[in-house]
Amino acid sequence: MAKTPGSRVFAGSLNGRGMLEIRTEKPASDSSLARIIHLVENAQEQRAPSQTFIDRFARYYTPAMIAFALALVLVPPVLFGQPFSTWLYRGLVVLVIACPCALVISTPVSVVCGLTRAAREGVLFKGGVYLEELGRIRTFFFDKTGTLTRGKPEVIHVRSFCDLPEDELLRLAAALESRSEHPLAGAILEAAGSNGDGDPLPAPTFVQAVPGMGIRGKVNGEIHLAGNPTFFNKGSGLSGPQKAAVEEWERKGATVVLIGTGKTMLGMVAIQDTVRGEAMAGLTELRRLGATELTMLTGDNPETGKAIASQLPIDTVHAGLLPEQKVALVREAVEKGKKVAMVGDGINDAPALALATVGVVMGAAGTDVALEAGDVALMGDDLRKFPFAVRLGRRTLRIIRFNVVFSLATKAVFLVLATVGLATLWMGVAADMGATLLVIGNGMRLLWGSNG
């Protein structure tokens, strides 16, 4: 957007050409970006360190087995006069059988295979812990723009309130919006380009943008305005039918841009971000997988949020949110003991992504800050990959649990047999190696086949 002497310039703006002298008003630590990064850091610090069952179990298992084998070798001969060679042999069999090969490898081989399968499908996990955690989650929070919707607003309706043709009304709006960097401006410019006959747009002068309201400027020698109803004295200049038309499109979830002069309302343009084609399939599949709560978070107005949610199997909508408020909602759910997955793509989502049990980023469209804060990236920006990741996490958990239980049960059975002298050293070797090969093969099933 063109700047003139006295204009405010946001941090991170790019100067196209020429030289500018800019005076800073705040230190970098007070910028919006710095505050968001601070929220991300705080959220990451609050994440409890994950510790798997094997880590805790191995702390006691190995010393206990060594102590048991040593006692088996010494106690019977010393206290009961039993032959030392017999109990030495049994102690060696116990040590062979107790070797935790199958137990120790049961978890990492499954996790590595799960991560490899996910990567093949375009889902990247930052670590195995997130694969396991995702399999336990039943509460899902979704950002709206760019996650459930395409993130690309489109003009869906143009209506003239006067004798000005609708295509000319759209070109007039595009002329004003050509000096704006707002996403809605891009939608109007794109629509005008596709509807026009190639003639250049009128060049506006004396352009002034009013943040959160609209833009005004002189086009064809007359001052024109384009913005929301509040920009036009809260819509007081609208007639009954005109006001009804605006409210109708707002109820449908569209953002209405009015175009007029200082005295006359010329018409309106309705703009709406469309729901991703795969969003319905993705959320429906999550529901089938047992999701208990599907919540949408958005900074848009409540009507827009409700309109988008009505097209999807969403349970709850929270609208008009700032980044801090998204964090508060995620924190509230986590403090209630829920495991929460947050799915988003924008910089405003980064703090909530970091605080959630698992943060999932729409990878290709995700901002650098969001990707840094997230734990999982859907590189294809396809929401149908998210239920796949959840199913994979649950299947990985099932295989890990089976491997652990099988390993422990096998050890327990053969330890009893070895203690009473019914297991030989070769049987111990076969049992240990057999269990190890079985859990490896079971974990490798994650590399192929159905993910149900």
- pLDDT, one tens digit per residue, over 22-45 is 888 777 776 655 654 554 455 444
Considering its fold, how many domains does the chain have in total? 3
Domain end, chosen from 243, 272, 301, is at 272
Q: Does 163 qualify as catalytic in the annotation? A: no
Residue predicted with more confidence, 51 or 18: 18
Asked if 328 and 361 sit in the same domain, the reply is yes
Is the pLDDT at 434 greater than 60, yes or no?
A: yes
Catalytic residue among 143, 273, 300, 381: 143
Asked if 266 and 373 sit in the same domain, the reply is no
Residue 233 lies in a domain: yes
- pLDDT, one tens digit per residue, over 300-352 is 778 778 888 999 999 999 987 877 889 999 999 999 999 999 998 866 788 89
- pLDDT, one tens digit per residue, over 361-406 is 887 555 566 667 788 888 777 899 999 999 999 999 899 889 988 9
Residue 28 lies in a domain: no
Tell me what pLDDT residue 367 has: 55
Task: Kindly report which listed range (86-95, 157-166, 169-178, 361-370) carries the lowest average pLDDT score.
Answer: 361-370
- pLDDT, one tens digit per residue, over 439-449 is 999 999 999 86
Cα–Cα distance measured from residue 310 to residue 118, given in angstroms and rounded to the nearest whole number: 31
Residue 47 lies in a domain: no
Q: Is 197 helix (H, G, I), strand (E, B) or coil?
A: coil
Asked if 363 and 319 sit in the same domain, the reply is yes
Q: How far is CA 326 from CA 48, 97, 134, 295, 347, in A?
A: 20, 52, 20, 11, 12
Is the pLDDT at 49 greater than 50, yes or no?
A: no
How much is the average pLDDT of 86-106? 86
Structure tokens at 362: 């729409």
Domain end, chosen from 272, 289, 318, is at 272
Asked if 265 and 295 sit in the same domain, the reply is no
Tell me what pLDDT residue 10 has: 65
Which residues have a Cβ under 8 Å from the Cβ of 247 and sit 6 or more positions away? none
| Residue span of the structural domain in which 237 resides | 154-272
How much is the average pLDDT of 123-136? 87
Task: Kindly report which listed range (13-22, 260-269, 415-424) carries the lowest average pLDDT score.
Answer: 13-22
Residue 408 lies in a domain: yes
CATH of residue 159's domain is 3.40.1110.10
Asked if 267 and 182 sit in the same domain, the reply is yes
Residue 212 lies in a domain: yes
Asked if 106 and 171 sit in the same domain, the reply is no
Asked if 101 and 205 sit in the same domain, the reply is no
Residue 12 lies in a domain: no
Domain end, chosen from 390, 414, 432, is at 390
